[in-house]
Structure 1
Amino acid sequence: MTIEIPLEYEGSTSLGFYIRLYNNYWYTYEEANDFCVQQGTRLAVVDTTDKINIIIALPGFDITYYYLVAATDNVKEGSFVWSTGSPVSRDAQLWHDYQPNNAGGNQNCLTLKQSKASLHDTDHVRFVSIVIFPGHVESEFLEWIWDGDVDFSKKNFSSLTLTTTALSEVNCLVICTQWVTNVAATFNSDTSTCSCYAELNGLPSNPGDRLWKTIPSGYDGSMSLGFYARLYHYYWYNYDEANDFCVQQGTRLAVLDTTEKIKIIVIALPGYSSTHHYLVAATDNVQEDSFVWSTGSPVSRDAQLWHDYQPNNDGGNQNCLTLTQSKFDDVTCTDDFKFICELI
């Protein structure tokens, strides 16, 4: 496959990182983000020092300017997250002195200035765009799961990235793997039509399509259960913040309604620690002591699933649920914990 990089973009083939400075544009974060999307690009995710070095070496980079990049702390104040979902490093060498400081109480966006990160509010500033192109797969490992034969009266797809012919289903998945925005693929053995998709709603599919979906980097689980989850063990969020974060990633807080799912979390997921609490998607907000999953089903009261004397509603306000040492414990919803997101 031929990769064509727009003339205005420069960068590194080995990193798969090509960017452009917009020195003559002054946009807010939302305006800059929308502009990049309209160009088929995105605001730059500058999550390594190598990428920062590429930017400051570009002709036109001005050390006196602020350049917007793709990170905010909108979910939780002071916890900046890249648009890809990974946390912004708090390494002091990457930040200007006394940053982030949230001056004025409304600095929720990130800029690059003089090769270091600095906070900025919603004023108009310059920005950096990163080109998204075929051939660059950002995830460390891209796995596919077969979702089934598509019933075209029930399933819809949109954001068509590519339609082409392929000799086989395997060839189709190989082709779609090369597209950074790809989340699903369909292959029709009758017509040998392969389609790659960036989203899963809006455009009718064709009878005979078979649907495959990607598993993002960091997720692990079981194909037979259709359950794939990820621990966010570098984040500490309360229930609402964790729930919002998962939704922004196109996922949800994990629903651990079977012992098999709990075993996957405890045994299969990298980074799981029995010493920590992990928020999951259940509360007893509707009726005290009756915990319900976000799907509407009740949380089992099987004693083997709960720690001794739990739930105990300690302090009278423990309305959320965590998994710790492979068992459930009720906790205060406004306290911060690590959490688990689940693919949906």
Structure 2
Amino acid sequence: MIAITFVIPSSLDYNGGIEKTIARYNSYTTDDFKKIVLQGVPGGNNKDVYGINSVYSKLIISTSGKLNFLVRAMAPFILKFDRLLNYRVIRNIENNSQVIYLTNDDYYYLFAHGKFFVWSEHGNIPSSYTGIKPLNNAIYALIKDKLIFRKIKAMHLINCYNMNLAPFKNTFCVPNGVDTSHFFPSERAHSSIRLLFVGRLEKSKGIDKIVNVFKQNLLNIEFTVVGSGELESLFSTPVKNVNYVKNPDNEKLAEIYRNSDAFIFPSMLENFGNVVLEALSSGLYVIGSESLRPRFDDIEKMNFLEYIESTESAILKSLEDLDRKIEYTGKYENRIKMHNYIAGKYGWDVVLPQFYNKMKNAYYSE
């Protein structure tokens, strides 16, 4: 049996895309792996979930933009301090793990480098490491020549079109998944047009632009926003036709999806977009940003998704024609077809066996 530790900067309770995915990896039953989760924040501390008091995690979660870039540049030094601060927990993880799976590659510096490290695309990959192409190319070359991150043994991609961007020979691809037994369509039982956004309320997700469109234009659309974050103040005063739901439980969230017609997600930077899978599994038409391309090109060809620029003008243009677009996707039989397609490609019962089979092969191939 292979002992694997999944390392996340936050907590499983945060319930974002990465956290939901790691929770699924951890809960899957397999005879080949013993699983542990190491959280970058206090909490857990049961037989398979541990938490640490990480200065780096606090900084990386609470900063953005140039300040976030500066924090990441200091990762080797801050995480070495975190190691000393949480030495007993880290040593226990090292003594009881054969594989260290990094959802954020920076946490490589938290550990002694005698283990089988897996770099995952849940965080950055070398081609998008800094946002500066020449610097990204230099980092890629240094990794490929084993001048940095020398002990990384394998890489897990969640976007298979990035295979040529992985500087590690031992690279495998398995996408993120979705609980298709939880997110499923229902018959359309309303005459109004219902639009939905689910995600963190921050500028990078484009939520402020959508709200501005609704403030400045009279749209015959009911818009529901689900999430929390730094831009919650957008909803401190009522906005016409906009309904804000902060933190619904999982059952309520699935119900909100089912009672919607379309999903909008103009995120400016997205590694995958788990909420898009939830929307598609629920049979919704998706308005997604160009940052999702070419991940869902097959869905675009099936007339269930369009890519737009992350601008207010592009959002408005798409919404003005939304009633026509959902004529096809609003039909129950077409919703069911999309749900079944997503289940066959992204359902957790499909994805999880693939993940652990490929992880096992990667480990034993070294």
Flag whether TM exceeds 0.5 (same fold). no
CA radius of gyration, larger in:
1
TM-score (norm 2): 0.28
Higher strand share: 1
The structure carrying a bigger helix percent of its residues is: 2
